[in-house]
Chains A and B, each alone.
Chain A
């Protein structure tokens, strides 16, 4: 299970700003601080950011000694090119950890550079990133790790890499990595191959199983369950990318110790899930597909009393009148999993009663994200809006910091959020609310609001203005398909010189209505990379405000 990387110790954009502005300062050394990676800040056009950052860092760390100290790179939602990775590999000889989460723009050549040059590499983790695969450029990166001697590898995660890997090289690598604790394979690795790797690495604590699927022709299948049983330290299982359910019993021996199980790529039904989950008494994190149905959720509720985080993803994301999970399973979870702290739940229908029940049964909730796929869906039973349910959540869950709402919602829901959601930092809104008043409640009532994203909701200029007192405290505001006008955006830009406002319209022509407003703090200068207008269909990005530091 992929947990979020530890946050940088300094506010990322400020740190970046320091680097960009005061390049003569010698106070910054790489040392053991996590590299100030950007988080949700938008990257300007792909090539620029990482290069800029790296160049600046290299500028400081001009002494080899200092460069040796730079050892960690955690990047999230960045565009990273092969060149960037080569630069890292070349510049930082004693590089230890590379973590790329939700990144894109690089491919196997970049990985090869890291593998071959970073001889002290302990961690190479590619999480939900997109690895470009172009046939003529595909490189056997696994073979690029040193061929002899033991490696320092502790964690190797490449489950998101779509192209096949050289299994022989991989097996050799695993055999030479006595410290390897976390191994997450991609789906080119078959069941038989998985077995061989597990025999080499019984010390694993985290395993991503690859395809977990039947080969075409297997003469004699090895004893998979024994291999799993031999991994006595296994606490986290993921993968199952093309799961062949007949193989599920193989994991029974490790279920009792599992704290984290990611079945979110495994299309298993209720029965199949139950056969596994009934052993998982220690489970704290569970990601599943809604193929398990309400019945599966009930089984989870019955067994996983220690559950802290649950994510239920839809197999079929289309809007339907009914779906395989509903308020029934949702309420069962709330009854059984009282320690729940974080939930992400996709469903077709929901009721206020079930949400209210969860608000009362699970007071420790910090993250509550309910996505009713059908837009404007009211309570399935009463046909009322979902205001009361979400209201109960902000009222009763006193630790709540992240909230995503859905379903039919009136301004009343936002009144509740403004009144009770005092700790809320991140709020996601879609197809909700009636008037400006709704958004005003939130902007005026939530002092800790940092990230606000809204789409397709009837909030306009009045609402936008009502947040002027607060926007400097925020990381970003995103409003799309709302009722904003260009004029109001310009007013806000002028009132807040330290914010960058981007107004993006689909049409090349300047229209009064704003389709997308994206506003964020930045210490960097004004953007100078507005794209050329190429006619209809291209977006137009405007830089409305400038940045200055005293």
Chain B
């Protein structure tokens, strides 16, 4: 689970390159979670890009593993998606921060999803995430073996997030949220606020209610305790609508199928 605090996550997002698409007059309408690198290098080497992966089953952080594994084609090839501009530019609420990338003579593009990196035993990777979510089935060493021996590329668990849909009353567009990125209801609640605050305001502005377009975006709070205008609920693996917050976090993550932000006044319709 990613336990970055909200502050750290914000500054982390500052450093990411953000694409902005917005209808006129609205900021922050649509943020992509863009995982582009800060460091862009042109990949000059003649290395074959259809490289093999021999490391998925690394032992003890060494690169070697059981030699009977057959090599696998690397997932994503590098380059084009990574190199857009030579500088990483941050735009946040009108402040322009420009971070120059190093002037080293090296030019190489960091690849996309690198298979078999970092050198962690899949045994350990699986066990770290499997207790957080049942969505990612822990693969046994052997299962990965078999996958290797066949023709399919290895599916490294470390790429999986636990993405669930989240819809909000009054907002036609839904979002998706990676529950593995949070470790508590509080963090989730903050994330929901961030996800929908802008969208909600856009909705209100366009529908003409709340006349003042210069009005600040309203923080969406009180999602968990019933004190706010909205309340967070979820649908569990049995199809039932449940109030978020009753069970321990890890139990919640293992049973949640989708989330919904309801108007608190609507709640009585479901009780």
Contact = CB atoms under 8 A, between A and B. Distances in A.
Interface of A: 40, 42-46, 77, 79, 102, 104, 128, 130, 132-133, 160, 162, 241-242, 244, 264-265, 267, 269, 289, 291, 293, 313-324, 344, 346, 369, 371, 373-378, 383-385, 404, 408, 410, 428, 430, 434, 453, 455-456, 458, 478, 480-483, 504-506, 513, 515-516, 518, 536-539
A383 B66 CA distance: 37
Interface string B183-212: 100000000000000000000000000000
A356 to B, nearest CB: 18
Nearest to B65: A77
Contacts of B39: 376-378, 408
Contacts of B132: 267
B114 A79 contact: no
Closest 4 CB pairs of A and B: A383-B102, A130-B141, A42-B67, A537-B151
B117 A430 contact: yes
B64 interface: yes
A43 B8 CA distance: 46
Q: Interface residues of A: mostly helix, strand, loop or mixed?
A: loop
A317 B16 contact: no
A216 to B, nearest CB: 10
Interface residues of B, number: 69
* Most chain B CB atoms below 10 A, which of A77, A316, A378: A316
Contacts of A478: 63-64
Nearest to A507: B50
Nearest to B145: A104
Nearest to A162: B140
A324 B4 contact: yes
Contact of A453 (B62, B111, B183): B62
A316 B145 CA distance: 22
A322 B2 CA distance: 10
Contacts of A536: 151
Given A102-B60, A456-B51, A130 B140 contact: yes
A404 B119 CA distance: 11
B55 interface: yes
Given A410-B106, A428-B62, A538 B70 contact: yes
B67 A313 contact: no
Nearest to A244: B248
B106 A104 contact: no
Contact of A504 (B46, B52, B118): B52
Given A376-B41, A384-B104, A483-B45, A315 B64 contact: no
Contacts of B180: 316
A43 B4 contact: no
A478 B150 CA distance: 23
A221 to B, nearest CB: 16
Nearest to B127: A265
Contacts of B4: 322-324
A408 B107 CA distance: 11
A318 B67 contact: no
Contact of B123 (A130, A242, A318, A504): A130
